[in-house]
Structure 1
Amino acid sequence: MTIKIGVFVDAENVRYNGGFHLRYDILRRFASRGERNLIRLNTYLLFDQERANEDAEYAKKALSYQQIARQFGWKANIKNIRRYTDDEGQVSIKGSTDLDLAVDALQQADHLDEVLLVTGDGDFEPLVTALQNKGCRVELLGFDNVSRQLQRQVDTFYSGFLIPNLIPVTYEPRNNWGKPGSVVRGVCSKWFQDKGFGFLNFLDRIDDNSWITNTRLNESPWTSAFCHINEIAGDINEDDLVHGDTVLEFYVQESPQEENGLVAQNVRLVQA
């Protein structure tokens, strides 16, 4: 059965909350996994025309980012920032695309089976409820500062940090995610505090089976890497590892002991 899906990206929220340099081609690939048929691909961005008139570099980067999204098949909905001067001469800047996104999602929901919201803004909770009442399944993808209430309201939440190559690793520009020598982001699946080691899991591909977390099963997109306590950065405590939802970034290397096995090195904290 083909699932008709619409994707709505709150680009400003994502940009300021861990999703800087979001890759729209990878997001499209994630949204179309399984039997999903992409009906709407909408992203909502703010543009500061006054600044663009004075700052050529800003204008170039902003317009380039909009064009990249369009090249990957997204409708870029642009809203201009407005400036207001009060009686005391103080200038305030206002701009929000929340209403535009919500109206579009509600109007287009009649033609969709599923909606993927890319945001962390808890103000969208009423929108989620309204979409669900229309019969849409609502999934959420976010990075930092994602509303807990919004996560509880949606049908499924995905951490954007864990999706392969969705955002770049800044210090590894040619990173080959999942291959020995690459940098990945994942979570701790099992940690033995008395022994000082455990296992970190990461997604090695984008498909519709991320719910299958048993790495021994061929259909699971998760891969496991052995990790020793000596590879853990000092700002990570073992309680964070035991909880299993702490996002970690680490190098994967071939295991010197286990054939086809992997080990995690230089493990750093991304999100507790």
Structure 2
Amino acid sequence: MTEIHPNQRVAVLADSQNLYHTAQSLYTQNIDYDSLLEAAVDGRKLVRALAYVVKADAPEEESFFDALTDIGFETHIKEIRTFSDGTKKADWDVGMSLDAVSLASHVDTVALCTGDGDFARLCRHLEHEGVRVEAYCFEESTSEDLIEAAHEFTDLSSDTDRFLL
């Protein structure tokens, strides 16, 4: 179940907020989503590529959303919610988890592009369902729980020339 073969069906789920903030804080650069998708698919059969993004009304975000679509990602867009105390929230943890669970019967591998440790439990659930889980993020900011729960972890910091723009 944990071996990679060319007939595997892969779903790629990218937590764009997590990737963006990590790449910015560590390298002040952006993610190369084309290279990320290519690495996650790794010659296998892509079933779906989903990018979870947050709409913050920034001037460049529409071109970013369009670029993701051009690369082959379906974009799931969520508006930032501002609460009465001024705090803002817009995370995709539940949406990504539900999509991964829904896709589990249609794929052999789920590639989670995030460093968020909240997904460790999802990894264990998917493994129980017979799905291989691969995690892609920067090791410096990736939860140990997620690294341990995934079948394989790819450290984007190990090849910044490939994974950063």
Fold shared per TM-score above 0.5: yes
3, 24, 35: which one aligns with 2:8 = 3
Provide the rounded CA distance (Å) in 2 between the counterparts of 1:27 and 1:150: 18
User: Structure 1: where are the runs of 5+ without partners?
Assistant: 53-57, 169-272
Alignment match of 1:105 (pick from 85, 100, 103): 100
Q: Do the aligned residues in 1 keep the contact of 2:23 with 2:30 (CA within 8 Å)?
A: no
Give the secondary structure class of the aligned counterpart of 1:135.
coil
Write the distance in 1 (CA, Å) between the matches of 2:77 and 2:30.
17
Equivalent residues in 2 for 1:169-248, closer than 5 Å: none
Structure with higher Rg: it is 1
Query: CA offset at residue 106 of structure 1?
Result: 0.5
**1:21-80 deviations in whole A, cap 9, x for unaligned?**
11111112212324x1000100101112xxx3xxxxx2x311111110000110010000
1:25 aligns to what?
34
Q: Could you tell me which amino acid in structure 1 is paired with residue 19 of structure 2?
A: V
| Structure 2 residue aligned with 1:119 | 114
- Indicate the residue corresponding to 1:45 in structure 2: 53
1:207 aligns with none
Distance 1:16 1:83 in 2: 19
Aligned-partner SS, 2:100: helix
Higher relative contact order (CA 8 A, sep 6+): 2
Aligned-pair distance for 1:2?
0.5
Please report the RMSD computed on the Cα atoms of aligned residues, expressed in angstroms. 1.4
Partner-residue secondary structure (3-state), 1:91: coil
CA distance in 2 between counterparts of 1:154 and 1:110 reads 18
Give the equivalent residue in structure 1 for 2:61: 62
Report SS of the residue matched to 2:30. coil
Q: Give the Cα–Cα distance (whole angstroms) in 1 for the partners of residues 14 and 70 of structure 2.
A: 16
Structure-2 residue corresponding to 1:161: 157
Structure 1 or 2: more strand by fraction: 1
How many percent identity over aligned positions?
A: 28
Q: How many residues align?
A: 154
SS of the residue corresponding to residue 72 of structure 2 reads coil
Paired position in structure 1 for 2:3: none
User: What is residue 79 of structure 2 aligned with on the other side?
Assistant: 80
Give the distance between the partners of 2:103 and 2:120, measured in 1 at CA. Answer: 18
* Alignment-derived partner of residue 189 in structure 1: none
1:213-244, CA deviations, whole angstroms, 9 ceiling, x for partnerless residues?
Answer: xxxxxxxxxxxxxxxxxxxxxxxxxxxxxxxx
TM-score, normalised with respect to structure 2: 0.88
Runs of 4+ aligned residues of structure 1 deviating over 6 Å after TM superposition are: none
Q: TM-score, normalised by structure 1?
A: 0.54
